[in-house]
Amino acid sequence: MAPILRSVIFNGSPAASLADLTSDEVRSFTDLKIETLTDLMLLEPDDFDNILGNDSSTFIKCKRLVAIVKYLRSDNTIDANILMAEVIQGSYGTNTTAVATGAGVSSTGQYVPTAPIKLSPSDIPSFSGDIQDQDT
């Protein structure tokens, strides 16, 4: 872990700006004694939902915080010049274009290319709803 993280205060840090947190949302973290980036790194994805809430206004903020934590855990530092796209690339080991086009990330953080699912009506067998019509 980079030693500089121990002294970087979360309130007013570039990490809070990257996540687009309001001052009230940052205060929610400091009220829970999450005051440095090292403290932030101890949180898990579900913790962000518990702190910020789980609604449409905080969904992207929580996802950004998850990427920031992964980025920091990889011994990267965040300064005022970094862009969220760089954080995502450093967090998931892929480029942001791949993420935007539907590529996935496995639970181990490895890039997993995915293709869109295509179904046609002929792929779905007909079913009358009768129990005898169901395949075994």
Q: Which amino acid is at 52?
A: L
The pLDDT profile of the chain, 136 residues, written as one tens digit per residue, is: 444 455 678 888 888 888 999 999 999 999 999 988 888 899 999 999 999 988 888 899 999 999 999 998 888 888 888 888 888 888 776 544 444 444 555 555 555 556 666 667 776 667 677 777 776 5
Q: Is there a contact between 69 and 92 (Cβ–Cβ < 8 Å)?
A: no
Q: What span, in angstroms and rounded, lies between the C-alpha atoms of 101 and 85? A: 14
Helix segments in the chain, DSSP class H: 14-18, 23-31, 37-41, 45-52, 59-73, 84-92, 96-100
